[in-house]
Amino acid sequence: MKNRVITISREFGSGGRTIGKAVADELGIPCYDNEILLEIAQKSGFSEAYVKEAGEYAPGGFLASTFSHPASGPNNTDYLWKMQYQLITELAQQGNCVIVGRCADYILRDKADCLRVFIHADMSFRAERIVKVYGEGEKSPEQRLRDKDKRRAAYHRFYTDMKWGHAQNYDITLNSGTLGIQQCVHIIKSLY
């Protein structure tokens, strides 16, 4: 029997990490987010900061992929993707859990009984939240939100060939700005 896994993809600042951890706590199951980065850093020998940065950028970006020679082979980001893929698969095999981000929705599509969730909110809610929660400077949180979401979308599309945030790729999408963080937790928990 396949384990039950909740994957949470999210727009930056929408509260997806907070929601994932709260759902896992209420269900009494593990939640994996930064723990995945730490494990990959330990196994790969790369710094945690490098692994985190590489996990949000499509390899080489548009220009590199357009002008690179196909015989150049895999790069560090591809190597880290393979490690991430393997680690997420192993975590899902170990037992029921919540996995935040890291393309887990795609990785586990045929490997686990998955509830694929996407958390989003409008720009003003997310901007206010990152200033409050992360201490983000109030000068231009909207630009940071756009940049971070753009990187996540490019990374997701590069490795999955799926459109990040596209409703058809998820079982449920929730607007945390409208519903509130706790209501999102309640809804996800009720679907488990």
Q: Give pLDDT tens digits along the chain (192 positions).
A: 478 999 999 999 999 999 999 999 999 999 999 888 888 888 888 888 888 877 766 665 443 443 344 445 668 888 889 999 999 999 999 999 999 999 999 999 988 899 999 999 999 999 999 998 888 665 788 998 999 999 999 999 999 999 999 999 999 999 999 999 999 999 999 999
Element (H, E) at 98: strand 97-100
Dihedral angle at the C-alpha atoms of 55, 57, 60, 65, nearest 10 degrees?
A: 110
Give pLDDT, residue 68: 41
Three-class SS state of 174: strand
How far is it, in rounded angstroms, from Cα 189 to Cα 192?
A: 5
How far CA 9 is from CA of 19, 57, 63, 110, 111, in Å, comes to 11, 16, 27, 17, 17
What is the domain extent for residue 70? 4-191
* Residue 85 tokens, joined: 């893929």
Overall size of the chain counted in residues: 192
Total number of domains in the chain? 1
Give pLDDT, residue 69: 40
Task: Output the domain CATH number for residue 140.
Answer: 3.40.50.300
* Residue 7 tokens, joined: 């994957």
How far is it, in rounded angstroms, from Cα 102 to Cα 50?
A: 15
Give pLDDT, residue 138: 59
The long-range contacts involving 168-172, CB below 8 angstroms and separated by at least 24 positions, are 169/105, 169/116, 169/118, 170/9, 170/105, 170/116, 170/117, 170/118, 171/114, 171/115, 171/116, 171/117, 172/115, 172/116, 172/117, 172/118
Give pLDDT, residue 67: 38
* Residue 69 tokens, joined: 């020679």
Q: Break the chain down into helix, strand, coil percent, rounded to 5.
A: 60, 15, 30
Report CA Rg, the chain. Answer: 17
